[in-house]
Structure 1
């Protein structure tokens, strides 16, 4: 970790860790795209990927569940955008289908949805210790039809 050894609140969330890993995979994937896509699909995918952990972190820094849920919802929207862009890149032949990437994307969706549901049912004033524990281990799978 950069800086001090104290872990930030968002860094304790499994969904944030998954989203960070997803960003790294998207950067690797887009590094082999055609040069003419540098400012096109590649840039769009990178922005969408970076938006996911960024919004999770911003939400975790907020003081209310309503604000947290708002930023988690934005992260979920960026994740859906990224999902579409990955499928487009596959259809356009820019990169081969990567089952590991899709599994990570699915797991991130599942954890993000579970966290949103848990916060929607929580009292509006959260206790920091309860919030930072992330018992979410939902590994929903989705159909593999990407054609």
Structure 2
């Protein structure tokens, strides 16, 4: 027995992203605990939360709206990654790995949203 969203690859990957960003946020300096660390954890978690919340709605238009929220949260994650590398909290290799994961997940989510009838 499972909820239908649990079978979605975008939900599974967004759950992984949340865990990766949680680990990354723990390595940020203490002065970022209420700023960048907190924001990174919240927006990365909201990607999966919006996918699951939207999946239980009856309306395709509402579901598409929640997938849009996930896409916007992914854009925020990318911006946090840019902030982290500019502040020299993140190596170039780590940035590129996380950036690619976000890029791939965003494209997958957009493609999935586009398949849902308006």
2:9 is the alignment partner of 1:14:
yes
Structure 1's unaligned 5+ residue stretches are 1-5, 125-147
From 87, 91, 109, the equivalent of 1:112 is 109
1:130 maps to none
| Distance of 2:2 and 2:104 partners within structure 1 | 23
Structure 2's unaligned 5+ residue stretches are none
2:37 maps to 42
Higher helix share: 2
- Conserved 8 A contact 1:55-1:71: yes
1:66 maps to 61
Q: Give the number of equivalent residue pairs.
A: 116
| Larger Cα-atom Rg | 1
Structure-to-structure mapping, 1:124-135, within 5 angstroms: none
| Distance of 1:22 and 1:38 partners within structure 2 | 19
Across the aligned residues of Structure 1 and Structure 2, the Cα RMSD in angstroms comes to: 1.1
Question: TM-score when scaled to structure 2?
Answer: 0.93
1:27 maps to 22
Question: TM-score when scaled to structure 1?
Answer: 0.75
Q: After the TM superposition, which of the residue ranges 27-36 and 96-105 deviates more from structure 2?
A: 96-105
